[in-house]
Amino acid sequence: MKVNQIMRQPVISMHEEDTLEEAARVMLENNLRGVPVVNSEGKISGFLTVSDFLAKEKHVPFSRFSALQLFGKWLDREGLEKIYVAARTIPIKQVMRTKVFSVMEEDSVEKVVELMVDHDLNRIPVLRDGVPVGIVARFDLLRMMVQKTESES
């Protein structure tokens, strides 16, 4: 089975200059857990997920100390709300993941599964000439299984 048979389209993407607030709004309005990010030419330049909006534990260089960091800023007890307020104007490109694993429309579903397993991914953008044209999420693999079962009965 080919990727184009299970991918969701059209894909909703964000521009790398859009703000995190704009991205959060689009993701919430469309019930999305992640979106491809494109540059001025419309080609993929990154990927933004819900987990990119959450604090992550970071280690202080040359120390055993670690603390929470959000959007590149260290958190203290009172700082979380201030950082989220300030984040409204941060461009997506400052937070997005730039290492993007992707597939082409004619690739096999097996390739999607291998990438998801090997790199612990929940969704993979589908590209045509570097431009996102669809997306495959783990959920789509469940749908594929059910559709196959229904067509066999």
One digit per residue, the tens of pLDDT, for the chain of length 153 reads: 899 999 999 999 999 999 999 999 999 999 999 999 999 999 999 999 988 877 555 555 665 655 555 566 655 656 667 766 777 888 999 989 999 999 999 999 999 999 999 999 999 999 999 999 999 999 898 887 787 655 555
Give the CATH number for residue 9. Answer: 3.10.580.10
Which parts of the chain are beta strand (E)? 14-15, 34-38, 44-49, 56-59, 66-70, 73-74, 103-104, 123-128, 131-137
Count up the domains in the chain and report the number.
1
| pLDDT confidence of residue 52 | 84
Domain extent, residue 80, equals 3-152
Closest CA to 128 of 14, 25, 10, 15: 10
pLDDT of residue 148: 61
The pLDDT, as a whole number, for residue 87 is 74
Confidence (pTM): 0.79
